[in-house]
A = this chain, B = another copy of it.
Protein backbone atom coordinates (compact mmCIF):
# COMPACT_ATOMS: atom_id res chain seq x y z
CA UNK A 1 0.00 0.00 0.00
CA UNK A 2 1.61 3.22 -1.16
CA UNK A 3 1.49 6.09 1.29
CA UNK A 4 2.22 8.78 -1.31
CA UNK A 5 -0.06 11.75 -1.22
CA UNK A 6 -0.64 14.51 -3.72
CA UNK A 7 1.53 17.52 -2.93
CA UNK A 8 -0.01 20.74 -1.61
CA UNK A 9 1.47 22.65 -4.50
CA UNK A 10 0.03 20.30 -7.12
CA UNK A 11 -3.52 20.24 -5.77
CA UNK A 12 -4.29 21.52 -2.30
CA UNK A 13 -7.76 20.07 -2.21
CA UNK A 14 -6.56 16.63 -3.30
CA UNK A 15 -3.67 16.86 -0.83
CA UNK A 16 -6.21 17.35 1.95
CA UNK A 17 -8.39 14.42 0.91
CA UNK A 18 -5.41 12.12 0.44
CA UNK A 19 -4.04 13.07 3.81
CA UNK A 20 -7.29 12.49 5.69
CA UNK A 21 -7.61 9.05 4.11
CA UNK A 22 -3.96 7.93 4.21
CA UNK A 23 -3.39 9.10 7.77
CA UNK A 24 -6.39 7.03 8.80
CA UNK A 25 -8.50 9.89 10.11
CA UNK A 26 -11.69 9.18 8.19
CA UNK A 27 -13.20 7.23 5.35
CA UNK A 28 -16.05 7.74 2.93
CA UNK A 29 -19.26 5.91 3.74
CA UNK A 30 -22.15 4.39 1.85
CA UNK A 31 -24.35 7.25 2.98
CA UNK A 32 -24.30 10.34 0.81
CA UNK A 33 -22.19 13.06 2.44
CA UNK A 34 -21.61 11.13 5.67
CA UNK A 35 -18.17 9.98 6.74
CA UNK A 36 -16.78 7.26 8.96
CA UNK A 37 -14.47 8.69 11.61
CA UNK A 38 -11.70 6.09 11.92
CA UNK A 39 -10.03 5.26 15.24
CA UNK A 40 -7.09 7.63 14.74
CA UNK A 41 -9.37 10.51 13.80
CA UNK A 42 -11.72 9.69 16.64
CA UNK A 43 -8.84 9.63 19.13
CA UNK A 44 -8.05 13.17 18.02
CA UNK A 45 -11.70 14.12 18.55
CA UNK A 46 -11.66 12.51 22.00
CA UNK A 47 -8.65 14.62 22.96
CA UNK A 48 -10.40 17.74 21.73
CA UNK A 49 -13.58 16.79 23.55
CA UNK A 50 -11.78 16.09 26.81
CA UNK A 51 -10.13 19.50 26.84
CA UNK A 52 -13.20 21.43 25.72
CA UNK A 53 -15.41 19.59 28.18
CA UNK A 54 -13.01 20.50 30.96
CA UNK A 55 -13.13 24.15 29.92
CA UNK A 56 -16.94 24.11 29.76
CA UNK A 57 -17.17 22.60 33.23
CA UNK A 58 -14.65 25.07 34.62
CA UNK A 59 -16.92 27.85 33.38
CA UNK A 60 -19.88 26.33 35.22
CA UNK A 61 -21.61 24.30 32.53
CA UNK A 62 -23.15 20.85 32.85
CA UNK A 63 -23.85 18.33 30.12
CA UNK A 64 -27.29 16.98 29.25
CA UNK A 65 -28.90 15.22 26.32
CA UNK A 66 -31.95 16.21 24.28
CA UNK A 67 -33.81 14.24 21.60
CA UNK A 68 -32.42 13.72 18.10
CA UNK A 69 -35.81 14.49 16.59
CA UNK A 70 -37.64 17.81 16.49
CA UNK A 71 -41.38 17.70 15.75
CA UNK A 72 -42.09 19.94 12.78
CA UNK A 73 -44.39 22.22 14.76
CA UNK A 74 -41.57 23.01 17.22
CA UNK A 75 -39.04 23.37 14.46
CA UNK A 76 -41.22 26.07 12.90
CA UNK A 77 -41.65 28.12 16.04
CA UNK A 78 -38.64 30.44 15.75
CA UNK A 79 -39.26 31.65 12.25
CA UNK A 80 -35.80 32.80 11.21
CA UNK A 81 -34.15 29.71 12.61
CA UNK A 82 -36.66 27.50 10.78
CA UNK A 83 -36.20 29.41 7.54
CA UNK A 84 -32.43 29.12 7.83
CA UNK A 85 -32.41 25.36 8.20
CA UNK A 86 -35.56 24.22 6.38
CA UNK A 87 -33.77 23.60 3.10
CA UNK A 88 -31.23 21.20 4.55
CA UNK A 89 -33.20 18.96 6.89
CA UNK A 90 -33.49 15.20 6.92
CA UNK A 91 -37.13 14.35 7.62
CA UNK A 92 -38.47 11.21 9.27
CA UNK A 93 -41.93 10.47 7.91
CA UNK A 94 -42.45 6.77 8.76
CA UNK A 95 -41.68 4.42 11.63
CA UNK A 96 -41.78 0.95 10.09
CA UNK A 97 -40.59 -1.14 7.18
CA UNK A 98 -42.41 -4.19 5.88
CA UNK A 99 -41.68 -7.06 3.52
CA UNK A 100 -41.94 -6.23 -0.16
CA UNK A 101 -44.26 -8.96 -1.41
CA UNK A 102 -43.06 -8.46 -4.97
CA UNK A 103 -39.39 -8.84 -4.04
CA UNK A 104 -38.80 -11.51 -1.40
CA UNK A 105 -35.99 -10.52 0.99
CA UNK A 106 -36.50 -6.83 0.28
CA UNK A 107 -38.18 -4.28 2.51
CA UNK A 108 -40.34 -1.28 1.73
CA UNK A 109 -41.58 1.60 3.82
CA UNK A 110 -44.92 0.63 5.35
CA UNK A 111 -47.38 3.28 4.15
CA UNK A 112 -49.60 2.51 7.13
CA UNK A 113 -46.82 3.61 9.48
CA UNK A 114 -46.86 7.25 8.45
CA UNK A 115 -46.26 9.70 11.27
CA UNK A 116 -49.03 12.17 12.01
CA UNK A 117 -46.40 14.84 12.43
CA UNK A 118 -43.07 14.62 10.64
CA UNK A 119 -39.88 14.71 12.67
CA UNK A 120 -36.89 16.80 11.68
CA UNK A 121 -33.51 15.24 12.44
CA UNK A 122 -31.90 18.06 14.46
CA UNK A 123 -29.68 20.39 12.39
CA UNK A 124 -29.23 22.30 15.70
CA UNK A 125 -31.19 21.97 18.93
CA UNK A 126 -32.50 25.40 19.91
CA UNK A 127 -36.10 24.43 19.19
CA UNK A 128 -36.23 21.17 21.14
CA UNK A 129 -34.19 22.64 23.98
CA UNK A 130 -36.18 25.84 24.38
CA UNK A 131 -39.38 23.87 24.32
CA UNK A 132 -37.90 21.88 27.24
CA UNK A 133 -36.55 24.91 29.10
CA UNK A 134 -40.10 26.26 29.19
CA UNK A 135 -40.86 23.58 31.80
CA UNK A 136 -37.67 24.18 33.76
CA UNK A 137 -37.65 27.94 34.17
CA UNK A 138 -40.14 29.83 36.31
CA UNK A 139 -38.09 32.09 38.54
CA UNK A 140 -34.75 33.91 38.63
CA UNK A 141 -33.72 31.14 41.02
CA UNK A 142 -33.76 28.74 38.06
CA UNK A 143 -31.27 30.96 36.23
CA UNK A 144 -28.71 30.95 34.85
CA UNK A 145 -29.20 27.60 33.19
CA UNK A 146 -25.83 26.59 31.74
CA UNK A 147 -26.10 23.43 29.67
CA UNK A 148 -23.99 21.82 26.98
CA UNK A 149 -24.75 18.83 24.79
CA UNK A 150 -22.35 16.54 22.89
CA UNK A 151 -24.31 15.21 19.95
CA UNK A 152 -24.62 14.40 16.28
CA UNK A 153 -26.49 16.74 13.96
CA UNK A 154 -27.57 16.49 10.34
CA UNK A 155 -27.55 19.19 7.68
CA UNK A 156 -28.28 18.12 4.15
CA UNK A 157 -25.31 19.75 2.44
CA UNK A 158 -25.05 19.64 -1.33
CA UNK A 159 -21.25 19.68 -1.55
CA UNK A 160 -19.46 17.79 1.19
CA UNK A 161 -15.80 17.43 2.25
CA UNK A 162 -14.44 15.04 4.88
CA UNK A 163 -14.64 16.79 8.29
CA UNK A 164 -15.11 20.26 6.75
CA UNK A 165 -18.67 19.84 5.59
CA UNK A 166 -20.48 16.56 6.11
CA UNK A 167 -24.17 15.75 6.16
CA UNK A 168 -23.87 14.30 9.65
CA UNK A 169 -21.29 15.69 12.01
CA UNK A 170 -20.43 15.52 15.69
CA UNK A 171 -20.40 18.66 17.76
CA UNK A 172 -21.15 20.25 21.06
CA UNK A 173 -23.82 22.85 21.43
CA UNK A 174 -24.13 25.01 24.52
CA UNK A 175 -27.55 26.47 25.30
CA UNK A 176 -27.78 28.90 28.17
CA UNK A 177 -30.58 30.93 29.72
CA UNK A 178 -30.11 34.13 31.70
CA UNK A 179 -32.12 36.72 33.58
CA UNK A 180 -30.46 39.77 32.03
CA UNK A 181 -29.30 40.86 28.62
CA UNK A 182 -25.88 41.75 29.98
CA UNK A 183 -25.34 38.34 31.55
CA UNK A 184 -26.28 36.60 28.30
CA UNK A 185 -23.93 38.86 26.36
CA UNK A 186 -21.13 38.18 28.85
CA UNK A 187 -21.70 34.44 28.43
CA UNK A 188 -21.58 34.79 24.64
CA UNK A 189 -18.22 36.54 24.83
CA UNK A 190 -16.89 34.20 27.52
CA UNK A 191 -17.52 31.15 25.32
CA UNK A 192 -15.91 32.87 22.35
CA UNK A 193 -12.85 33.34 24.56
CA UNK A 194 -12.95 29.67 25.56
CA UNK A 195 -12.98 28.67 21.89
CA UNK A 196 -10.16 31.07 21.07
CA UNK A 197 -8.03 29.76 23.94
CA UNK A 198 -8.67 26.19 22.88
CA UNK A 199 -7.77 26.92 19.25
CA UNK A 200 -4.58 28.77 20.11
CA UNK A 201 -3.29 26.86 23.14
CA UNK A 202 -4.28 23.34 22.16
CA UNK A 203 -4.68 23.31 18.38
CA UNK A 204 -1.75 25.75 18.04
CA UNK A 205 -3.96 27.56 15.55
CA UNK A 206 -4.13 31.35 15.73
CA UNK A 207 -7.61 32.78 15.34
CA UNK A 208 -9.19 36.16 14.87
CA UNK A 209 -12.13 36.90 17.15
CA UNK A 210 -14.90 38.90 15.63
CA UNK A 211 -18.54 39.49 14.90
CA UNK A 212 -20.40 38.23 11.84
CA UNK A 213 -22.29 40.56 9.55
CA UNK A 214 -26.06 40.21 9.40
CA UNK A 215 -25.80 38.13 6.21
CA UNK A 216 -23.54 35.60 7.88
CA UNK A 217 -25.32 35.54 11.23
CA UNK A 218 -26.74 32.33 12.70
CA UNK A 219 -30.42 31.99 11.81
CA UNK A 220 -32.30 33.25 14.85
CA UNK A 221 -29.40 35.07 16.52
CA UNK A 222 -29.20 38.76 17.40
CA UNK A 223 -25.43 38.67 17.13
CA UNK A 224 -22.99 35.93 16.10
CA UNK A 225 -19.43 35.97 17.42
CA UNK A 226 -16.87 33.79 15.70
CA UNK A 227 -13.27 32.70 15.58
CA UNK A 228 -11.71 32.63 12.13
CA UNK A 229 -8.55 30.75 11.22
CA UNK A 230 -6.42 30.82 8.09
CA UNK A 231 -5.50 27.65 6.25
CA UNK A 232 -2.23 27.13 4.35
CA UNK A 233 -3.89 27.81 0.99
CA UNK A 234 -4.92 31.25 2.22
CA UNK A 235 -8.57 30.35 2.65
CA UNK A 236 -10.32 31.20 5.90
CA UNK A 237 -12.15 28.71 8.06
CA UNK A 238 -14.81 29.52 10.65
CA UNK A 239 -13.69 27.42 13.60
CA UNK A 240 -16.37 28.19 16.18
CA UNK A 241 -19.35 30.43 16.81
CA UNK A 242 -21.03 31.86 19.89
CA UNK A 243 -24.45 33.39 19.44
CA UNK A 244 -26.25 36.02 21.48
CA UNK A 245 -29.87 35.05 20.87
CA UNK A 246 -31.53 37.92 22.73
CA UNK A 247 -35.06 36.91 23.68
CA UNK A 248 -35.83 35.39 20.29
CA UNK A 249 -36.17 31.77 21.37
CA UNK A 250 -37.73 32.67 24.73
CA UNK A 251 -40.44 34.54 22.83
CA UNK A 252 -40.90 31.78 20.25
CA UNK A 253 -41.30 29.18 23.01
CA UNK A 254 -42.88 31.48 25.61
CA UNK A 255 -40.19 31.04 28.27
CA UNK A 256 -40.71 33.66 30.96
CA UNK A 257 -39.39 34.07 34.48
CA UNK A 258 -40.24 36.04 37.59
CA UNK A 259 -37.40 38.27 38.71
CA UNK A 260 -36.45 39.32 42.25
CA UNK A 261 -38.87 42.23 42.07
CA UNK A 262 -41.64 39.85 41.03
CA UNK A 263 -41.73 41.20 37.48
CA UNK A 264 -42.19 38.78 34.64
CA UNK A 265 -39.94 38.92 31.59
CA UNK A 266 -38.72 36.69 28.77
CA UNK A 267 -35.44 34.88 29.36
CA UNK A 268 -32.22 35.92 27.57
CA UNK A 269 -30.18 33.26 25.84
CA UNK A 270 -27.05 32.15 24.05
CA UNK A 271 -25.90 29.15 22.05
CA UNK A 272 -22.40 28.19 20.95
CA UNK A 273 -20.75 25.30 19.18
CA UNK A 274 -17.73 23.70 17.65
CA UNK A 275 -17.69 20.51 15.62
CA UNK A 276 -15.59 17.76 14.05
CA UNK A 277 -14.84 20.44 11.46
CA UNK A 278 -12.06 21.42 13.85
CA UNK A 279 -10.25 18.24 12.82
CA UNK A 280 -10.25 19.48 9.23
CA UNK A 281 -8.94 22.83 10.42
CA UNK A 282 -6.21 21.16 12.42
CA UNK A 283 -5.12 19.09 9.43
CA UNK A 284 -4.95 22.11 7.15
CA UNK A 285 -3.32 24.45 9.66
CA UNK A 286 -0.04 22.57 10.13
CA UNK A 287 0.43 19.56 7.88
CA UNK A 288 2.82 19.13 4.96
CA UNK A 289 3.48 16.89 1.98
CA UNK A 290 4.73 14.07 4.20
CA UNK A 291 1.52 13.98 6.18
CA UNK A 292 -0.06 15.32 9.33
CA UNK A 293 1.70 17.64 11.74
CA UNK A 294 -0.18 17.44 15.04
CA UNK A 295 0.20 19.67 18.08
CA UNK A 296 1.58 17.61 20.99
CA UNK A 297 -1.28 18.67 23.26
CA UNK A 298 -3.82 16.92 21.04
CA UNK A 299 -1.80 14.18 19.34
CA UNK A 300 -3.20 10.69 20.07
CA UNK A 301 0.40 9.43 20.15
CA UNK A 302 2.97 12.01 21.30
CA UNK A 303 6.07 9.87 21.00
CA UNK A 304 6.77 6.76 18.96
CA UNK A 305 9.81 4.59 19.62
CA UNK A 306 11.20 2.48 16.79
CA UNK A 307 13.92 -0.14 17.42
CA UNK A 308 16.75 -0.51 14.90
CA UNK A 309 18.39 -3.90 15.20
CA UNK A 310 19.98 -6.89 13.57
CA UNK A 311 19.14 -10.20 15.14
CA UNK A 312 17.29 -11.30 18.24
CA UNK A 313 20.11 -10.51 20.63
CA UNK A 314 20.20 -6.80 19.76
CA UNK A 315 16.40 -6.70 19.82
CA UNK A 316 16.38 -8.21 23.29
CA UNK A 317 18.77 -5.58 24.63
CA UNK A 318 16.79 -2.76 23.06
CA UNK A 319 13.50 -4.16 24.37
CA UNK A 320 14.85 -4.19 27.89
CA UNK A 321 15.97 -0.58 27.71
CA UNK A 322 12.82 0.61 25.97
CA UNK A 323 10.66 -0.98 28.65
CA UNK A 324 12.31 1.30 31.19
CA UNK A 325 12.09 4.35 28.93
CA UNK A 326 8.41 3.80 28.14
CA UNK A 327 7.66 3.59 31.85
CA UNK A 328 9.62 6.79 32.43
CA UNK A 329 7.81 8.66 29.63
CA UNK A 330 4.39 7.44 30.79
CA UNK A 331 5.15 8.58 34.32
CA UNK A 332 5.96 11.98 32.85
CA UNK A 333 2.42 12.00 31.38
CA UNK A 334 3.53 11.34 27.81
CA UNK A 335 1.52 9.12 25.46
CA UNK A 336 4.05 6.78 23.96
CA UNK A 337 3.93 3.86 21.55
CA UNK A 338 6.70 1.31 21.08
CA UNK A 339 6.38 -0.07 17.58
CA UNK A 340 8.45 -3.24 17.48
CA UNK A 341 6.16 -5.01 15.02
CA UNK A 342 8.16 -7.14 12.59
CA UNK A 343 5.78 -6.60 9.69
CA UNK A 344 7.60 -3.54 8.46
CA UNK A 345 11.12 -2.15 8.29
CA UNK A 346 12.17 1.01 10.21
CA UNK A 347 12.05 3.20 7.10
CA UNK A 348 8.46 2.20 6.47
CA UNK A 349 7.61 2.95 10.08
CA UNK A 350 9.30 6.36 9.92
CA UNK A 351 7.16 7.30 6.92
CA UNK A 352 4.03 5.91 8.56
CA UNK A 353 4.41 7.96 11.74
CA UNK A 354 5.29 11.04 9.74
CA UNK A 355 2.03 10.52 7.86
CA UNK A 356 0.22 10.23 11.17
CA UNK A 357 1.86 13.38 12.53
CA UNK A 358 3.37 11.87 15.67
CA UNK A 359 5.29 14.88 17.07
CA UNK A 360 8.40 13.06 18.28
CA UNK A 361 10.04 9.91 16.94
CA UNK A 362 12.73 8.14 18.90
CA UNK A 363 14.92 5.61 17.13
CA UNK A 364 17.12 3.36 19.21
CA UNK A 365 19.81 1.01 17.95
CA UNK A 366 22.56 -1.13 19.46
CA UNK A 367 25.22 1.55 18.98
CA UNK A 368 22.92 4.17 20.59
CA UNK A 369 22.55 1.89 23.56
CA UNK A 370 26.29 1.55 23.88
CA UNK A 371 26.61 5.35 23.82
CA UNK A 372 23.68 5.80 26.21
CA UNK A 373 21.80 7.97 23.70
CA UNK A 374 18.77 7.84 21.44
CA UNK A 375 18.10 9.52 18.11
CA UNK A 376 15.22 11.94 18.33
CA UNK A 377 13.39 13.42 15.33
CA UNK A 378 10.88 16.25 15.37
CA UNK A 379 7.95 15.79 13.02
CA UNK A 380 7.39 19.50 12.43
CA UNK A 381 10.90 20.53 11.34
CA UNK A 382 12.24 17.00 10.61
CA UNK A 383 15.29 18.04 12.61
CA UNK A 384 17.21 15.15 14.17
CA UNK A 385 19.10 15.30 17.44
CA UNK A 386 20.70 13.04 19.98
CA UNK A 387 19.33 12.86 23.53
CA UNK A 388 21.05 11.25 26.47
CA UNK A 389 19.09 8.34 27.87
CA UNK A 390 19.57 9.83 31.31
CA UNK A 391 16.66 12.10 32.12
CA UNK A 392 14.98 11.38 28.79
CA UNK A 393 11.50 12.19 30.16
CA UNK A 394 12.34 15.80 30.99
CA UNK A 395 14.09 16.35 27.65
CA UNK A 396 11.11 14.95 25.74
CA UNK A 397 8.66 17.12 27.67
CA UNK A 398 10.73 20.17 26.82
CA UNK A 399 10.80 19.16 23.19
CA UNK A 400 7.04 18.59 23.07
CA UNK A 401 6.46 22.02 24.59
CA UNK A 402 8.86 23.53 22.10
CA UNK A 403 7.05 21.89 19.19
CA UNK A 404 3.67 23.05 20.49
CA UNK A 405 4.97 26.59 20.70
CA UNK A 406 6.87 26.52 17.39
CA UNK A 407 4.00 25.29 15.26
CA UNK A 408 1.79 27.98 16.76
CA UNK A 409 4.37 30.64 15.97
CA UNK A 410 4.83 29.31 12.45
CA UNK A 411 1.07 29.34 11.84
CA UNK A 412 0.77 32.80 13.37
CA UNK A 413 3.56 34.24 11.23
CA UNK A 414 1.97 32.69 8.18
CA UNK A 415 -1.41 34.15 9.09
CA UNK A 416 -0.09 37.59 10.05
CA UNK A 417 1.77 37.89 6.74
CA UNK A 418 -1.50 37.23 4.98
CA UNK A 419 -3.59 39.98 6.48
CA UNK A 420 -3.33 42.65 3.82
CA UNK A 421 -5.04 45.96 3.40
CA UNK A 422 -6.75 46.69 0.11
CA UNK A 423 -7.79 50.22 -0.73
CA UNK A 424 -9.17 49.91 -4.24
CA UNK A 425 -11.39 47.34 -5.93
CA UNK A 426 -8.64 46.34 -8.34
CA UNK A 427 -6.22 45.83 -5.50
CA UNK A 428 -8.83 43.77 -3.68
CA UNK A 429 -9.50 41.48 -6.64
CA UNK A 430 -5.81 41.08 -7.41
CA UNK A 431 -4.92 40.21 -3.82
CA UNK A 432 -7.56 37.50 -3.66
CA UNK A 433 -5.72 35.54 -6.33
CA UNK A 434 -2.13 36.65 -5.87
CA UNK A 435 -1.91 36.73 -2.11
CA UNK A 436 -4.82 34.76 -0.71
CA UNK A 437 -5.54 35.43 2.94
CA UNK A 438 -7.51 37.93 4.96
CA UNK A 439 -8.04 41.20 3.17
CA UNK A 440 -8.73 44.15 5.38
CA UNK A 441 -10.91 46.60 3.53
CA UNK A 442 -13.60 49.21 3.93
CA UNK A 443 -17.22 48.23 3.36
CA UNK A 444 -20.32 50.38 3.33
CA UNK A 445 -22.09 48.20 5.88
CA UNK A 446 -24.92 46.96 3.64
CA UNK A 447 -25.89 43.38 2.95
CA UNK A 448 -26.39 44.24 -0.72
CA UNK A 449 -22.78 45.26 -1.19
CA UNK A 450 -21.56 42.23 0.73
CA UNK A 451 -23.64 40.00 -1.52
CA UNK A 452 -22.33 41.67 -4.69
CA UNK A 453 -18.74 41.25 -3.56
CA UNK A 454 -19.42 37.59 -2.86
CA UNK A 455 -21.00 37.06 -6.27
CA UNK A 456 -18.13 38.71 -8.08
CA UNK A 457 -15.21 37.29 -6.12
CA UNK A 458 -16.45 34.41 -3.91
CA UNK A 459 -14.97 36.35 -0.99
CA UNK A 460 -17.13 36.89 2.09
CA UNK A 461 -16.79 39.06 5.13
CA UNK A 462 -15.32 36.66 7.67
CA UNK A 463 -15.80 39.02 10.58
CA UNK A 464 -15.62 42.48 11.99
CA UNK A 465 -12.73 41.99 14.42
CA UNK A 466 -13.41 42.61 18.11
CA UNK A 467 -12.07 45.98 19.30
CA UNK A 468 -11.72 46.95 15.66
CA UNK A 469 -10.02 50.30 15.17
CA UNK A 470 -12.36 52.93 13.79
CA UNK A 471 -11.18 54.87 10.76
CA UNK A 472 -12.85 56.84 7.99
CA UNK A 473 -12.70 55.30 4.53
CA UNK A 474 -14.57 54.44 1.38
CA UNK A 475 -16.22 51.09 0.58
CA UNK A 476 -14.06 48.96 -1.65
CA UNK A 477 -16.94 48.33 -4.05
CA UNK A 478 -19.35 51.27 -3.83
CA UNK A 479 -17.08 54.03 -2.58
CA UNK A 480 -19.69 54.92 0.03
CA UNK A 481 -18.42 56.08 3.42
CA UNK A 482 -17.22 53.46 5.90
CA UNK A 483 -16.11 53.82 9.50
CA UNK A 484 -14.00 50.67 9.78
CA UNK A 485 -12.21 47.98 7.83
CA UNK A 486 -13.58 44.41 7.93
CA UNK A 487 -11.87 41.13 7.06
CA UNK A 488 -12.69 39.51 3.75
CA UNK A 489 -11.52 36.11 2.53
CA UNK A 490 -12.51 33.16 0.46
CA UNK A 491 -13.49 30.53 2.95
CA UNK A 492 -14.20 26.86 3.64
- Tally of contact residues, A, Cβ under 8 A: 67
Chain B nearest CB from A255 CB (Å) reads 14
Decide if A429 is an interface residue (CB 8 Å cutoff).
no
> CB-defined interface of A443-476 with B at 8 Å, one 1/0 digit per residue?
0000000000000000000000000000000000
Copies in the complex: 2
Residue of B42, B64, B76 near A63 (CB, 8 A) is B42
Decide if A82 is an interface residue (CB 8 Å cutoff).
yes
A107 engages B34 (CB within 8 Å): no
In whole angstroms, how far apart are the Cα atoms of A135 and B29 in the complex?
10
Residues of B within 8 A of A74 (CB): 30
Decide if A244 is an interface residue (CB 8 Å cutoff).
no
Residues of B within 8 A of A99 (CB): 86
Residue of B68, B97, B118, B154 near A168 (CB, 8 A) is B68
Decide if A480 is an interface residue (CB 8 Å cutoff).
no
Query: Using a CB–CB distance below 8 Å, which chain A residues touch chain B?
Result: 27, 29-31, 34-39, 41-43, 45-46, 62-72, 74-76, 79, 82, 86-99, 105-107, 109, 118-121, 128, 131-132, 135-136, 141, 147, 151-152, 154, 156, 168, 170, 343
- Please give me the residue from chain B that is nearest to A155 by CB atom: B95
Candidate in A89, A105, A128 with the most chain B CB atoms within 10 angstroms: A89
- With A31-B69, A86-B97 given, name 12 new contacts (CB 8 A): A31-B119, A37-B64, A37-B65, A65-B170, A68-B152, A86-B96, A90-B95, A91-B92, A91-B94, A91-B95, A96-B156, A97-B120
Q: Provide 8 A-B residue pairs closer than 8 Å at the C-beta atoms, listed in order of the A residue.
A: A36-B64, A68-B168, A87-B98, A89-B96, A89-B97, A91-B92, A91-B97, A152-B152
Residues of B within 8 A of A43 (CB): 62-63
In whole angstroms, how far apart are the Cα atoms of A109 and B71 in the complex?
12
Residue of B34, B68, B75, B107 near A76 (CB, 8 A) is B107
In whole angstroms, how far apart are the Cα atoms of A43 and B46 in the complex?
18
A88 engages B79 (CB within 8 Å): no
Residue of B68, B107, B120, B152 near A75 (CB, 8 A) is B107
B67 engages A38 (CB within 8 Å): no
A90 engages B87 (CB within 8 Å): no
Residue of B63, B67, B170 near A36 (CB, 8 A) is B67
- Please give me the residue from chain B that is nearest to A121 by CB atom: B92
Residues of B within 8 A of A93 (CB): 91-94, 109
Chain B nearest CB from A427 CB (Å) reads 41
B90 engages A105 (CB within 8 Å): no
Residues of B within 8 A of A95 (CB): 88-91, 156
In whole angstroms, how far apart are the Cα atoms of A6 and B286 in the complex?
59
B30 engages A42 (CB within 8 Å): no
Residues of B within 8 A of A86 (CB): 96-99, 107
In whole angstroms, how far apart are the Cα atoms of A89 and B156 in the complex?
20
Chain B nearest CB from A100 CB (Å) reads 9
Residue of B36, B69, B87, B94 near A65 (CB, 8 A) is B36
Residues of B within 8 A of A46 (CB): 63
Chain B nearest CB from A93 CB (Å) reads 5
In whole angstroms, how far apart are the Cα atoms of A27 and B35 in the complex?
32
B89 engages A31 (CB within 8 Å): no
- Please give me the residue from chain B that is nearest to A70 by CB atom: B31
Asked if A105 meets B76 with Cβ closer than 8 Å, knowing A66-B36, A86-B97, the reply is yes
A64 engages B39 (CB within 8 Å): yes
Residues of B within 8 A of A79 (CB): 105
A67 engages B29 (CB within 8 Å): yes
A62 engages B76 (CB within 8 Å): no
A36 engages B132 (CB within 8 Å): yes
Chain B nearest CB from A340 CB (Å) reads 16
A168 engages B36 (CB within 8 Å): no
Residues of B within 8 A of A147 (CB): 39
In whole angstroms, how far apart are the Cα atoms of A41 and B149 in the complex?
13
Chain B nearest CB from A326 CB (Å) reads 17
Residue of B90, B96, B151 near A119 (CB, 8 A) is B90
Asked if A96 meets B107 with Cβ closer than 8 Å, knowing A46-B63, A62-B42, A170-B65, the reply is no
In whole angstroms, how far apart are the Cα atoms of A37 and B152 in the complex?
15
In whole angstroms, how far apart are the Cα atoms of A64 and B29 in the complex?
13
Chain B nearest CB from A216 CB (Å) reads 22
Residues of B within 8 A of A36 (CB): 64-67, 132
Chain B nearest CB from A90 CB (Å) reads 5
Residues of B within 8 A of A62 (CB): 39, 42-43
Residue of B68, B109, B151, B152 near A118 (CB, 8 A) is B109
Residues of B within 8 A of A118 (CB): 109
